[in-house]
Structure 1
Amino acid sequence: MANVLAAATKDNTRFTIFENDQVLTADQLNDLFNYLDVQTRLTRTRGLGIGIICGLEIGQLENKQIAVSKGTAITSDGDLLHIDADQAFDRYALFEDNNARYPYFRMDNEQVVTIYQLSSSTTDTDTGDDFTKFEEVTNTLVKDYVGVLYLEDYQNDPDVCTGTDCDNKGAQAVRELKVLLIHKDNLSALLQSIPPLNKNYFALDDIAMPRAIITTAISQYAELNTSFTNTFSIRSEIKEKLVKAYQTCQVVLQDEFDGVDPTSEWNQLLDTHFNIGTSIYAQYVYDFARDLTCAYNEMREVLFGDNMMCCPDVALFPKHVLLGTIRTAAVANDTGGNIPASPPVSLPRPPIFLPPVIGRLRFDIGLLIKRFTPILIDNQYRHSFYESPVLNNKEENMEKIKFCFMRIHSMIHNFKIPTTATLPPVTESIKITPGYFEDQPLGKRSLPFYYDINTNLPANLYWSYDANVRKKENEILSYAANKYASKSSVFSPLSFNILPYTFFRIEGHIGFKYQDVERVLNDLIVNNNLPINLITVQVERDINTIPIRPWNFPYLNLHEAFVRNTLNDHMNQVDLVNSGMLSQISDTETTKPIIASAANGFTNAKNKVLADGAITGTGFNLETYKTDVQNAITSANFFKQNTQQFTFSNTAPPHDFVINTDVIYKADLIDDLFKQHFDQKRQGLMLGNYLAKNPGLEHAGGVLRGGTFVLVYTANDSAVVADFMLPYANIDNDIVPDPIVVKPLPLPQIPQFDVPKLFEKIPTYQKLFKAQLDPIAESLNTTITQTDVKIPPIVKIPINTTADIGNILRNTTGIGSVVFTGGGTTNPADTTGSNPVVNVAGADVSAVLEDFRNKQEEVAKLPADAPDRQAKEQALLQAASALTEQLNKPEVTNNPNNALVVKSILSDVHSSTGLVQTEALKSEAANVTTIANTINRGFNLRQ
């Protein structure tokens, strides 16, 4: 019988209106029936859909029987096929299709393919063969067969005359539902009846966007730029796949583009856009390519699930549906809450074939079927249900497809990067826009600033489908929102709730000086209380162009404060003692002007030391500080030299603490550690080094909530050339704008006694040598007594300098040899009364020492304004240098026994450098003092 809907004509839409007493003909009745039949079929196929609605799964039970589950299907001719309960078949027979002669069962030569009809021995009179022998007889496997639910539809017109009468009883319409098996090798014609699902989706491929990768070895901007431009090879793939996508969906898109293929224009514009990649704006071309790939992939996803059919072809599968391959099945045990099987219906048997009812079936979907599908079975050999557009609103899917292509069209046309030449000043050009990260669809994110707001093709209109259909395109957040938005929550989003947003776009900064960009961004972050952090790094590995940050290293600051405050406290004590001494000297004494000048000189030197900046601060000059400290040491020494008539009676003289301070060496150490820390911090602000310590650096056009936005600049012009982000906070804890001022406990102050009780006028060197000369004199007197040699006793007189020792020795004859403990000796001539011989570690330094003392006496007697003072000071320093050179030898300093003699000589050397008043010679005097201190310290370490 021909397909009903295929034969539907204008006649099917007309029928006779019955009237009383009219003659009712067969045509009139048939017209009415055909009209109602066609309307019913059209309602099914056009209003609902075609294919298997539910159930109708086929499988083989353990007893070898074939089972078919209950279910319903609609053919493309509008026939409703249904089985009310699960059925089992244990017989089979060859089906020859002699009645309906269905075209799908015939090959090109009109021969019927091999088809087997299933039946049940309990309900069918023609039982066929036992199905348990099916595989043996056919020499095939059951699993290689596909089930077909077939409605055999034909007319049976019996003879007019029968054995009883010749009345015309009319033709009989036969419609029998049959379950058939056809081998997969014979399905070529039937498979053509399965409409391809998602054919447009599978006709296209996704685009995978390459990643811009930077390495730890990067050191030049060209390398950074290359990391972006290397990804631009994606251009060819984008162009190729956009062309194919348009050709695939051309039927849908013709109206949108007025029947003109837009891909040629797209390709030309893409070439222009990608050529911008040679500039510092390469990162935005990379972003644009990433947006395009995302838009394309989203468009392809919209094509999936396209099982909608509008006005399906009647000839598609007019009298059959394919049930799929035969799988393993079992009768379910309806306990434990399972749905019970439908009970047998006690109704008269309908004219279609219904085998006996069995329990509810359970099918094994097989190991190869792991993917979740709406029906959970294979669709290669099975008809799905192809819906009418009205069921799932599939027309909206078509609109989404059109929108996705229009969005790509808008993105390509509107791509335009704002540059420093077109942007306003940096304070106005930089903006932070909240939005969503790439884990959200493109339309949910903020609109990037490199898309122009063109009134003829607005980028915001084609950015989000949901916003478009709801007429909310003017509420999309973007850099240029002020060009289209009327709500302050759109063009000033940071003033409103930002908690829903996970990402912050940062734009308008490329090309500007990083110092300005830092300032503006920090203001935006602080003023808007944004949950992001900012770091600036340099591309090149040039430490000299990396700025100094307010780094603070507490342990260095504490150590420096302790060392410097200790020295400062000693210098303040020296000032206190100096002023106290001056108050005890009468104005009539000739030494007071010299002592006052020395005190004033020390005060000035001290003030310079106090004025020097912190070692751990910026702008500190170590050499200047060391020179200033050395001058303070020299000044303290000079003051002490000119006040030798005083000695402390209650405490150690503070001048000695200043003279012997080790702050210069500790300053060297602290300064070196500080510079190493600073260099390490600055090294860490080079892009390659920063990446090595902070993995996960990516360019995203902004920063995630709680993340770190990384500005990248070049050393030659300080311009920002790129930006990256870390998905976590990276805070430099060593940056402390207002560090805590460390104030260590000061040394105990000098007791505030009355000045006369603090020190007294007792010659210093008398104390030193009295303890040495008295035992010698006692020994000498004993020797003289034993030998009856008449030698006068030792004359005890005050000794102010070691020069006085020479005088004593020169004016006292008959004394054998004065021996100083420690190995040095001073031997006068036996009878001549000439200068004594001074030996140190076996070396005669008498001549050098005598020359030095003579020059020291000359300078000490000179007025401050003497015209030849500079020359004589120069000669004194040369003599002092020669003397320290003699003493600064390992054979001297390595033997602690030499300490007493050498230290007494070094005391004179210290005093002599304090006599130097010429500014040009003070640095030379400081060097002599440094050498003397070094020799002295060497003995201190060994004693």
Structure 2
Amino acid sequence: MADPIKVLQLLGSTPASTYTVFERDQVLTHGQLNELSLYLNQQERLTRTNLVGVGVISGLDLAVEDAAVTVGPGLGITTDGDLVIRPEAVRYTHSKPYDDKQPQYAPFFPDGKTINKMVELTDEADPLGTPLPIPLAKQDWVVVLLVETSELDPDLCIGENCDNLGRKAMTKIRLLLALSDDAKALRATFQPVSERARSLPDMLATRPQLNTAMSNTTLFMSRYRDACNEVLNALNEALKQFGQDFALELKSLFGSSPIEAWQLRLKEIFGQITIGNAQLIYGFFKDMVDTWNAMVDALLDTTAILLPGTSAFPKHLLLGSLQDPTALRTAFFPSVADTGAREAAARAGFLVRKLEAQMKCFFVPEDTVLRITPSMGEEVALEERAIPWYYSPDISTQWNYRLNKRQQSETNLGYRANDYGGSVRARNPLVSAIAGYEMFRVEGHLGGDVHKVREELKAQVAQYNLPFKVHAVLAHNLKKFIRIRPQIRYTDLHRFHYLLRQDVAVRLDEGQRFTSKFSENMQAAVQQKTIPDQLENVVSVTQVVQTARNNMETLSAKAQPALAKTRYTAYREETRQTAWADKLGDQLQMLGDVRSKLGEVARNDIVSPIDSLIQTTHPIWLNWLDDLIVARDDREDDKLLLSRFVGDHPSLDHLGGTWRGGTFVLLYDDNGKVVGDFALPYTYEEVDEPEPDEPVLQRPPLLRPPIKDITPIGIVRPIKLDLDSLVTSRVDSRFAVTSVDLDKKIATLNTTVDARLNLATSNVESLVKGAFSVKEATGAVALGGGKLMATGDSLLDELAQDVDYKRQRVQNLAELVGRTDLSADQRSKAQTLLSNAQGELGAAVGATAEHVVTTKTNTATGGAANVAAMLAQSTMLVTDSAASTKLTAKLGTLEVAATDQNQKVLIGGLKNIGAIRG
């Protein structure tokens, strides 16, 4: 039985290395000719496989229909060097058996005896063909292209008579269908670099956990050290695997495996972490991760095979599965001589060497020269960014593959461009166009004084028109260590404070002019005998008014220098030195006492400047505004602490610089030394503007005549003085007048008395309308022992005494709330007590007023008039909204119930005061 025909593999044996060199007239034998033919054939095939590559180069795509398979045009090379060319698509609709009667191809016989189950694709013209099954796409078949090369011997030998016609070599392209499990065994067994690189990990640079708990530099350092430690552990594991999977390549590059030395160097660098360089070393580890990932990418692109051999797919190519035409296809494995493959391999080798260069060239710099270098963000490869300052100059040639290949490494931008002989642009990167750079590295600042670093940075930003801002925060939770803050945070509170200062200044100025005029009027009245110089509770009217004038002039002179300042800080300094407002309350009380003492000889026709000054709370407002300004500054200072800043700006990140249009944030310790930096992707800066001088406010024409042209307090001649004069006159002339004359004088006296009584009523009504201050009311109703003047109604006296007690309590609490030495908590509690006391005072006023209405007490004369005045001034003190509203409602009810005119005037006045104050 004849041996079966086999598919020939021309590269299956050792390539021919000799052939016969023909000589002139030499007789050639078949062996010599076949030897030359084999040598040339093998050399051509070796050229294809080793200088071009193997596999499906392009095309030969499958298109699967319900009952047909189309193989498109394409090109491929088997590992035996067969060049497969399909110039056009061929559609197959039928199949026929493919068994061991065909030339035998060893890979189809996995056990050496039995052929895999397969059918051959054909068309309807083939008499042996049968239609393909429907639907074809659900069949578990894979299309296999077979380059069937065999030899056919056409000689017919009978006995010893044989015609030696030679054998014929034949090559036929067959399209076969094989089961998918069998086809998997026919796949290429190559493991190019790209296949091994798939198992290498994709490295991640752990981000430090920045949060509001970072209250000191130790916690700040620990967060970055923890992140570095995680990256270090991941790098060690990755390098270990790299050393195992790429041992041959590493040996080829370095002579021996450098992995162990690399791991020791990384451990050494990690051990150098301190507070001042934690971010810097973290930046190095991030660089290592970037280079590692770039290296893996380059290895994944390295699909070339060196000396692919012949056994992988010597005579066949897999074209895909009928269920998924893209699966189970023979890939193309280019030769190492291929341009793209050579580039990928060269780049991968460069990046492997760059890993080592980064570790060797890293050091902790001590430079103090501040430099800003244009760069790119992390969205581009590390090699396209500026070289950081923590690498020695030697790394410049191993930084950028493209520039290294062109021998232009000196054009790399970096902090040490001067040291590695950088180009003109590299040495002066900020003097040329910078629009193409998305970020700017800032280096040389660590360890420097934050004031100097900040000012130098701002100077360079201004000099080169750089598009970012500079800010500074403290790595501590104690505001006393803040070194960088604006000289003053000038706001509308300061402007309102200035407006109030001008208001108080005007009131003091008018008060001074008024007391001068009032003193002159009173002294003139004494000299003209219009009023006596001595009253029941005043030793000397002249002395009292002169003292008031002097005190007012002293107060005004002491306050005006501070109030005239156009800068807030100047006002605060002047106030601190002169303390003009410390005893302002006592001085105003003294003026109120003077007014009350002279109540018998003076009356208010309008509210005087003194009354206005006593009643206003604007001087207290100045202190309150000071407190608000201090509180606001305190809140703003909170934003300068790292723990608060992280919470306000969650996008905070360390980049070794900052983004275009962003903010470079300096981080300093409690000694004012820069220990780190951050970046914000937006502009943030607390502007430190100089304190402005507010304009001098011109006093506009007032809606009233000048103080010197009016007499706010009129002089009243005492009734007692008129009575005494009249009695003296009658005794002296008792024999010189007639009864008629006496009657006329008595009538005149009655008229005068009535007028004086009406005037007293007017004075009471003035009290009700709020003409006098609280202090005046106290003086008007109080006697030497502090008891109220008797009204003849014991219950009314007790009610009035209760009102007076609650009034004094409200006054005392109001003064307590106004003190500047209270803490916020103490002031809050005092304010609560004041509100409660005002409620009690309002209830006492309402009860007393109800008694007056019920008993129809005449409040125009006697002690009841003093009670009316006290009720009016007590109502003025009920400023709490709830208490005032309740009192006003009570008075409204009483006003309706009142029948006497004096009572209606009293209750109506009290209600109006309450409505205004509430």
TM-score (norm 1): 0.69
Structure 1 equivalent of residue 530 of structure 2:
none
Three-state SS of the structure 1 residue aligned to 2:116 is coil
Three-state SS of the structure 1 residue aligned to 2:558 is helix
Q: Cα–Cα, structure 1 residues 273 and 582, in superposed 2: closer, same or farther, change >3 Å?
A: same
Structure 1 equivalent of residue 235 of structure 2:
238
How far residue 206 of structure 1 moved from its aligned partner, in angstroms, is: 0.7
- Give CA-to-partner distance per residue, 1:9-51, whole Å, 9 cap, x none: 455555436x5x6544434543443344334323422332222
2: distance between equivalents of 1:899 and 1:705? 80
2: distance between equivalents of 1:406 and 1:494? 31
Task: Tell me if structure 2 keeps the 8 A contact 1:573–1:750.
Answer: no
* Residues 668-747 of structure 1 aligned to structure 2 (within 5 Å): 668-714=623-669, 716-732=670-686, 735-739=688-692, 741=694, 743-747=696-700
Three-state SS of the structure 2 residue aligned to 1:203 is coil
Three-state SS of the structure 2 residue aligned to 1:506 is strand
* Residues 246-645 of structure 1 aligned to structure 2 (within 5 Å): 246-257=243-254, 259-327=255-323, 365=325, 377-378=326-327, 381-418=328-365, 422-424=366-368, 429-453=369-393, 458-546=394-482, 548-572=485-509, 601-602=554-555, 604-610=557-563, 627-628=580-581, 630=583, 634=587
How far residue 574 of structure 1 moved from its aligned partner, in angstroms, is: 6.2
Q: Cα–Cα, structure 1 residues 59 and 162, in superposed 2: closer, same or farther, change >3 Å?
A: farther
- Give CA-to-partner distance per residue, 1:783-839, whole Å, 9 cap, x none: x99x99998987999xxxxxxxxxxx9xxxxx9x999954999xxxxxxxxxxxx99
Task: Tell me if structure 2 keeps the 8 A contact 1:538–1:685.
Answer: yes
How far residue 647 of structure 1 moved from its aligned partner, in angstroms, is: 11
How far residue 614 of structure 1 moved from its aligned partner, in angstroms, is: 5.1
- The answer to which of 317-326 and 49-58 deviates more is 49-58
Q: Cα–Cα, structure 1 residues 10 and 71, in superposed 2: closer, same or farther, change >3 Å?
A: closer
Structure 2 equivalent of residue 932 of structure 1:
none
How far residue 404 of structure 1 moved from its aligned partner, in angstroms, is: 0.7
Aligned equivalent of 1:181, options 177, 181, 196: 177
Structure 2 equivalent of residue 228 of structure 1:
224
Q: Cα–Cα, structure 1 residues 773 and 526, in superposed 2: closer, same or farther, change >3 Å?
A: farther
Alignment of 1:48 onto 2:52: yes
Structure 1 equivalent of residue 87 of structure 2:
84
- Give CA-to-partner distance per residue, 1:233-260, whole Å, 9 cap, x none: 2212101212322433333332432x12
Task: Tell me if structure 2 keeps the 8 A contact 1:90–1:132.
Answer: no
2: distance between equivalents of 1:887 and 1:680? 32
1: distance between equivalents of 2:214 and 2:594? 62
1: distance between equivalents of 2:53 and 2:868? 115
Q: Cα–Cα, structure 1 residues 601 and 241, in superposed 2: closer, same or farther, change >3 Å?
A: same
Three-state SS of the structure 2 residue aligned to 1:54 is strand
How far residue 178 of structure 1 moved from its aligned partner, in angstroms, is: 1.5
Q: Cα–Cα, structure 1 residues 842 and 900, in superposed 2: closer, same or farther, change >3 Å?
A: closer
Structure 2 equivalent of residue 333 of structure 1:
none
Task: Tell me if structure 2 keeps the 8 A contact 1:511–1:719.
Answer: yes
Structure 2 equivalent of residue 876 of structure 1:
none
1: distance between equivalents of 2:643 and 2:560? 46
Aligned equivalent of 1:5, options 7, 11, 19: 11
Gaps of 5+ in 2: 1-6, 528-541, 730-738, 768-775, 789-804, 813-840, 850-858, 871-912
How far residue 593 of structure 1 moved from its aligned partner, in angstroms, is: 11
The structure where helix makes up a greater share of residues is 2
Match for 1:318: what amino acid? Answer: P
Q: Cα–Cα, structure 1 residues 15 and 52, in superposed 2: closer, same or farther, change >3 Å?
A: farther
- Give CA-to-partner distance per residue, 1:279-305, whole Å, 9 cap, x none: 332222222221111110110000113
* Residues 885-896 of structure 1 aligned to structure 2 (within 5 Å): none
How far residue 145 of structure 1 moved from its aligned partner, in angstroms, is: 1.8
Task: Tell me if structure 1 keeps the 8 A contact 2:51–2:335.
Answer: yes
* Residues 644-663 of structure 1 aligned to structure 2 (within 5 Å): 661-663=616-618
Structure 2 equivalent of residue 861 of structure 1:
none
Structure 2 equivalent of residue 115 of structure 1:
118
* Residues 88-107 of structure 1 aligned to structure 2 (within 5 Å): 88-98=91-101, 100-107=103-110
1: distance between equivalents of 2:580 and 2:867? 26
Quote the sequence identity (%): 24
How far residue 465 of structure 1 moved from its aligned partner, in angstroms, is: 1.0
- Give CA-to-partner distance per residue, 1:66-124, whole Å, 9 cap, x none: 433332322122212233333233443443345643221222343333332333340x4
* Residues 112-191 of structure 1 aligned to structure 2 (within 5 Å): 112-122=115-125, 124=126, 127-132=128-133, 143-159=139-155, 161=157, 166-187=162-183, 189-191=185-187
Structure 2 equivalent of residue 870 of structure 1:
none
2: distance between equivalents of 1:583 and 1:382? 118
How far residue 190 of structure 1 moved from its aligned partner, in angstroms, is: 1.6
Structure 2 equivalent of residue 911 of structure 1:
none
Three-state SS of the structure 1 residue aligned to 2:654 is coil
How far residue 274 of structure 1 moved from its aligned partner, in angstroms, is: 1.4
2: distance between equivalents of 1:635 and 1:886? 19
How far residue 653 of structure 1 moved from its aligned partner, in angstroms, is: 6.9
Match for 2:133: what amino acid? Answer: T
The count of aligned residue pairs is 766
Task: Tell me if structure 2 keeps the 8 A contact 1:144–1:325.
Answer: yes
Three-state SS of the structure 2 residue aligned to 1:229 is helix
- Give CA-to-partner distance per residue, 1:373-422, whole Å, 9 cap, x none: xxxx23xx22122223444332222221111111111111222222xxx3
Three-state SS of the structure 1 residue aligned to 2:494 is helix
Q: Cα–Cα, structure 1 residues 659 and 821, in superposed 2: closer, same or farther, change >3 Å?
A: closer
Match for 1:447: what amino acid? Answer: I
Q: Cα–Cα, structure 1 residues 192 and 72, in superposed 2: closer, same or farther, change >3 Å?
A: closer
Q: Cα–Cα, structure 1 residues 253 and 841, in superposed 2: closer, same or farther, change >3 Å?
A: closer
Three-state SS of the structure 2 residue aligned to 1:627 is coil
- Give CA-to-partner distance per residue, 1:637-673, whole Å, 9 cap, x none: 789979x9x9999998766655555332111221222
TM-score (norm 2): 0.71
* Residues 739-888 of structure 1 aligned to structure 2 (within 5 Å): 739=692, 741=694, 743-748=696-701, 758=709, 767-768=715-716, 822=764, 845-846=783-784
Gaps of 5+ in 1: 136-140, 328-363, 366-376, 798-808, 810-814, 826-837, 851-881, 906-937
Match for 2:50: what amino acid? Answer: R
Q: Cα–Cα, structure 1 residues 520 and 633, in superposed 2: closer, same or farther, change >3 Å?
A: farther
Structure 1 equivalent of residue 852 of structure 2:
none
1: distance between equivalents of 2:333 and 2:110? 27
Task: Tell me if structure 2 keeps the 8 A contact 1:537–1:711.
Answer: yes
Three-state SS of the structure 1 residue aligned to 2:242 is helix
1: distance between equivalents of 2:865 and 2:63? 116
- The answer to which of 95-104 and 78-87 deviates more is 95-104
Q: Cα–Cα, structure 1 residues 839 and 297, in superposed 2: closer, same or farther, change >3 Å?
A: closer
Three-state SS of the structure 1 residue aligned to 2:640 is coil
Three-state SS of the structure 1 residue aligned to 2:418 is helix
2: distance between equivalents of 1:551 and 1:42? 83
Task: Tell me if structure 2 keeps the 8 A contact 1:400–1:465.
Answer: yes
